[in-house]
Amino acid sequence: ALFSLLCPCRQLHTPSNILLLSLAVSDFFVGLLLLPLEIFRNTSCWVLGDRMCSAYWYLTSNIICASIGNIVLISVDRYVAICDPLHYPSRITLAKVKLSVCMCWFYAFFYSNLYTKDIMIEPGRYNSCFGECVFFSSNIAIVADLILFFFVPVSVIIVLYMRVFVVAVSQARAMHSHVTSVTLQRSLTQTNKSELKAARTLGILVVVFLACFSPLYCYSLVDENAINNPAASFAVIIFYINSCLNPLIYALFYPWFRNAVKLIITLEIFKYDTSGANIL
Q: How confident is the model at residue 1 (pLDDT cuts 50, 70, 90)?
A: very low
- Angle of CA points 23, 27, 31, to nearest 5°: 175
Amino acid 94: pLDDT: 87
The most confident of 6-15, 38-47, 97-106, 138-147, by mean pLDDT: 97-106
Average pLDDT on 188-214 reads: 68
First to last CA, the chain: 22
pLDDT digits (tens, 9 = 90+) for 227-257: 666 667 777 888 888 888 877 776 666 666 6
- Angle of CA points 108, 119, 44, to nearest 5°: 100
Q: What is d(CA 207, CA 74) in angstroms, rounded to the nearest whole number?
A: 13
Residue spans per domain, the chain = 9-270
Q: What percent of the chain has pLDDT over 70?
A: 70
Question: In this predicted model, which residue has the larger pLDDT, 156 or 195?
Answer: 156
Q: What is d(CA 64, CA 198) in angstroms, rounded to the nearest whole number?
A: 24
pLDDT at 178 over 60: no
Lowest pLDDT segment from 10-24, 168-182, 242-256: 168-182
- Mean pLDDT over the full length of the chain: 77
Amino acid identity for residue 130 in this structure: F
Q: What is d(CA 176, CA 267) in angstroms, rounded to the nearest whole number?
A: 44
Whether CATH 1.20.1070.10 fits 9-270 = yes
Q: How confident is the model at residue 19 (pLDDT cuts 50, 70, 90)?
A: confident
pLDDT digits (tens, 9 = 90+) for 97-127: 999 999 999 999 999 998 888 888 888 887 7
Amino acid 218: pLDDT: 77
